[in-house]
Structure 1
């Protein structure tokens, strides 16, 4: 386990943990309410981490001041949407590294021994599991853990279910409802579906939609243990435990199904950490796995539903021809497609350097059959 060291009367140490894959700080100094934002920003840019020992609310104010100095978007312009995407992604990684240098120390019981600090123990227990002693984390990560706890408690209302889905920390939340609505309204193959697979289930929202549509048995898979635990909890909350079984980590479960649904990450780029797995699919690996395995897992007359945004195509990261060639190469054909336009907030954000691309985005449910 990685360990950080700092001097506070004497030399001290603690385990280092970063869910987002931030590197181990090599130099750590103690900081408190006397630390100026300009100095904090300079030290962080130089690679020095600041272990906060002052007031919790002052730490948040310092973090916001550092953020203003970093900026919100990469300077300069790119010649293409793909270059803009990569430029913005590199800038976000830089911003995360700088802001991630402001650290806090979680005690053995995951408490935070700072003035005016909230009780973070339950949120940290849910995110990190059983404590193994004091651990240092970035303040940005702790704030994300606290935000995730609120999402988990409050839930996300899903109109297609007329109920709330409760995402866990590190599991992609169904805040973009258009892909859920596609699965809720696309015509089921044949005269009905006895068994369906939901690959990469996440919170379990699509598995729940299929069960509510009358599919007698749904097998939901996910590579992430966190996602599987989240999906099982949501299935129980919705009273669907008798219809939905959650398993993994393999992409496909055993057997065949009349319907196989897959909503893979839409961007074929390398994730920075496991927290990015809901957005980035390195090399299109999950998409390729779904397509290559589909023909051997469908019942006669069954369909595979691929729910996919064309954002990667508009960014120049994958072409429509490449997608259709992969479909044909897997022994599949397109029997239908249902399109929708996203309505999330980023579509309306004109300050986003990729606004034009996002405003034109289309999300599709591709209906695929063997042959």
Structure 2
């Protein structure tokens, strides 16, 4: 199904249009109006809340300032804490969703070559090509908030993220692929004792390929890294090639999570929170109904070599938020015919864990990330 066109009259009185595009799948706005540096923030906020998208024709830096002004107005709408951690979490997500919708109402137009034809605008063509694909020649309307995310992601991809477990070598995340900025889970994989069995290792849901690279550097004869996301597959292959590991790591598309065959070690770092993602990047955080977690557990025993292990990397944040209990996790492990060999824990060190102004601070401060060593024989 082709994307709809947005139609509006620019400040000069000329009727114009552009194709709508949203990486988060947001529907095309029903109403549009032109906006430039003369528009007051209060007017823009009122129109956005009423469902009118504002197509920007002014100065690029002016658009960024207006976006910040809209954000400040939204910051005043702090949700009330719920009576339970789960209720507080859901209210927090609803507030974030509302914020995203309102801020997403400020639009800019990319020309047919992905250029942004605004005064003082940066050259965004390379960033947009990396995120959206080659230009099609058609003008495209996107939210400024999304475009800023595209630009930021391109910088992450260009500079890379240094990984201590890889000796400081860098992983380069692509747009829409979760970045390994939280190093505690990578360090757990680098430190856990390897199983007695030797042979191939599987890295399920590889994302950037960081864990597959760590396993290869630790001496795995061969690593098969799987993912179902085309962006993740391209990203993992890029990083494997950058690190010179193409002879040790094979990146494959596996819609069923597991590749064929058995392995001495199976590693899985599923999204840590049960819930529905609302954007491409959130797919690395939210696992609808815990489907990936269950698929890993139920398939593990049938994909292990004798003496092999499965490593489940999982935060207990969902438990502190009331979204899953420890008993439910242990019951799922047992129901899959598995036993816990050992568990290695690490405390997160990211800034939000120590930020008392975060609505979820209590849960984040108590969070522990664990590597569960699992084997058949529950």
Is TM > 0.5 for Structure 1 vs Structure 2? Answer: yes
Taking structure 2 as the reference length, the TM-score comes to 0.96
TM alignment of 1:142-291, pairs within 5 A: 142-162=147-167, 163-190=169-196, 193-250=198-255, 251-291=257-297
Residue 24 (structure 1) aligned with residue 38 (structure 2): no
Residue 95 (structure 1) aligned with residue 127 (structure 2): no
Q: Secondary structure at the match of 2:324?
A: coil
Aligned length: 370
Change (3 A) 1:73 1:343: farther
Question: Structure 2, unaligned stretches of length 5 or more?
Answer: none
* Corresponding residue number in structure 2 for 1:364: 370
- Mapped to 2, the partners of 1:156 and 1:366 lie a distance apart of 26
Q: CA deviation at 1:223?
A: 1.3
* Corresponding residue number in structure 2 for 1:2: 4
CA contact (8 A) 2:177 2:280 kept: no
Q: CA deviation at 1:22?
A: 2.0
Q: Secondary structure at the match of 1:28?
A: strand
Question: Structure 1, unaligned stretches of length 5 or more?
Answer: none
Q: CA deviation at 1:15?
A: 1.1
- Mapped to 1, the partners of 2:79 and 2:38 lie a distance apart of 31
- Mapped to 2, the partners of 1:63 and 1:145 lie a distance apart of 16
TM alignment of 1:7-86, pairs within 5 A: 7-8=9-10, 9-71=13-75, 74-86=78-90
CA contact (8 A) 1:198 1:262 kept: yes
Q: Deviations over 1:202-244 (max 9, x none)?
A: 0000000000000010000111100110000101111101000
Q: Deviations over 1:20-78 (max 9, x none)?
A: 22221010111001010000000000000000000000000000001001117633221
TM alignment of 1:326-341, pairs within 5 A: 326-341=332-347
Q: Secondary structure at the match of 1:207?
A: helix
Q: Secondary structure at the match of 1:260?
A: strand
CA contact (8 A) 2:79 2:91 kept: no
* Corresponding residue number in structure 2 for 1:122: 126
Q: Secondary structure at the match of 2:18?
A: strand
Q: Secondary structure at the match of 1:296?
A: helix
- Mapped to 2, the partners of 1:273 and 1:175 lie a distance apart of 18
- Mapped to 2, the partners of 1:336 and 1:49 lie a distance apart of 53
- Mapped to 1, the partners of 2:145 and 2:206 lie a distance apart of 27
- Mapped to 2, the partners of 1:222 and 1:267 lie a distance apart of 18
Residue 351 (structure 1) aligned with residue 353 (structure 2): no
* Corresponding residue number in structure 1 for 2:321: 315
Q: Deviations over 1:242-273 (max 9, x none)?
A: 00000113211111100000000000011113
- Mapped to 2, the partners of 1:341 and 1:143 lie a distance apart of 31
Q: CA deviation at 1:194?
A: 1.6
Q: Deviations over 1:90-128 (max 9, x none)?
A: 000000000000000000000000000000000000000
Taking structure 1 as the reference length, the TM-score comes to 0.98
- Mapped to 2, the partners of 1:210 and 1:64 lie a distance apart of 43
Q: Deviations over 1:132-184 (max 9, x none)?
A: 21110000000000000110011111000011101000000000000000000
- Mapped to 2, the partners of 1:300 and 1:218 lie a distance apart of 18
Q: CA deviation at 1:13?
A: 1.9
- Mapped to 2, the partners of 1:166 and 1:286 lie a distance apart of 24
Q: CA deviation at 1:11?
A: 3.1
Residue 296 of structure 1: which of 281, 292, 302 is its match? Answer: 302
Which of structure 1's runs of 4+ aligned residues deviate more than 3 A?
none
Q: Secondary structure at the match of 2:364?
A: helix
* Corresponding residue number in structure 2 for 1:306: 312
Q: CA deviation at 1:197?
A: 0.3
